[in-house]
């Protein structure tokens, strides 16, 4: 009798649970890799956008620094000027991005030569103050100008760059015939209103005057370059979303919101 031995080979394979786990692990790795790649792409795009925005902000600041001191005034801004006035904002495209470049220019009252006689609650308007007690009240508080340029990406309205600088006149400040007007915006309960658009206008002046600035966190808006007017024709108005608007009236009128 002949017999034959047959060897049966046994190969290990994946069970269904093991296969499912392996697929889940592989899927997780793929998703993590894709997410990391997406984050890197977005970060690179944001860096390029910020770099382009900073370039525009720096370019605008250097342009303003090259202008004559008297020309550093904005359309509808708080600095009175007989020369051409600059636009508050404009759009500019750089690569695939469109930006909105906004400029702010205002006077600074520095404590080095004394400050205007501010109320105690507004003493913070005296920059680098308080002024030395031996200094007289500064009758010409327009010591120098503060230029602030910020750049927003138009589509997202996201601020991508902000630069600022101080600019002084080439000669020492000289006496002028303009004055200062301090406006305090409060609610009916006496709380300060920050972020209100405060405007002063006078249509009897030549040229006519219209200046607008935003009230600070204390509800204060100060205009440091206001021409004199003996006819009492200045009108002050304040507006803010969510609040009623008010404007000054003649001495014989009645106050109606």
Q: Provide the mean pLDDT of the chain.
A: 81
* Burial classification of residue 24, based on how many CB atoms lie within 10 Å of its CB (0-12 exposed, 13-18 middle, 19 or more buried): exposed
Q: Where are the alpha helices (DSSP H) in 66-110?
A: none
- The pTM for the full model equals 0.66
56 falls in which pLDDT band (50, 70, 90)? very high
Q: What percent of the chain has pLDDT over 70?
A: 84
Number of H helices, E strands in the chain: 1, 10
Q: Are 202 and 229 in contact (CB under 8 A)?
A: yes
- How many residues are listed for the chain in this entry? 257
Segments of the chain assigned to CATH 2.60.40: 177-250
- What is the DSSP-derived secondary structure letter of residue 47? H
13 falls in which pLDDT band (50, 70, 90)? low
pLDDT at 256: 45
SS3 of residue 195 by DSSP = coil
Give how far Cα 60 sits from Cα of 103, 104, 133, 151, 164, Å: 9, 12, 39, 10, 10
CATH class name, domain 177-250: mainly beta
pLDDT > 60? residue 133: yes
Q: Are 182 and 89 in contact (CB under 8 A)?
A: no
pLDDT at 101: 95
Q: Are 71 and 84 in contact (CB under 8 A)?
A: yes
pLDDT at 255: 45
Average pLDDT on 40-63 reads: 84
- 122-126, 194-198, 218-222 — which one is most confidently predicted on average? 194-198
pLDDT at 59: 93
């Amino acid at each position: 009798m002949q017999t034959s031995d047959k060897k049966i080979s046994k190969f290990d394979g994946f069970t269904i649970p093991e296969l499912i786990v392996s697929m889940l692990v592989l899927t997780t790795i793929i998703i993590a890799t894709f997410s990391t790649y997406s984050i890197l792409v977005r970060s690179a795009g944001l860096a390029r956008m910020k770099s382009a925005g900073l370039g525009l902000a720096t370019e605008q600041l250097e342009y303003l620094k090259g202008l004559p001191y008297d020309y550093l005034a904005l359309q509808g801004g708080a600095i009175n000027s007989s020369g051409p006035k600059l636009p508050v904002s404009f759009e500019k495209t750089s690569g695939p991005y469109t930006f909105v470049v906004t400029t702010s220019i205002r006077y600074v009252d520095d404590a080095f030569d004394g400050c205007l006689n501010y109320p105690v609650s507004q003493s913070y308007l005296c920059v680098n103050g308080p002024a030395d007690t031996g200094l007289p009240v500064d009758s010409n508080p327009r010591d120098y100008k503060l230029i602030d340029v910020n750049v927003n990406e138009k589509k997202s309205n996201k601020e991508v760059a902000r630069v600022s600088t101080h600019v002084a006149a080439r000669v020492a400040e000289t006496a002028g015939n303009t004055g200062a007007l301090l406006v305090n915006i409060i609610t009916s309960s006496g709380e300060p209103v920050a972020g209100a658009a405060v405007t002063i206008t006078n249509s009897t002046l030549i040229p006519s005057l219209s200046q607008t600035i935003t009230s600070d966190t204390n509800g204060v808006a100060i205009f440091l370059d206001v021409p004199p007017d003996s006819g009492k024709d200045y009108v002050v108005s304040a507006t803010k979303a969510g609040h009623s608007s008010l404007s000054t009236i003649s001495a014989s009128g009645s106050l109606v919101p």
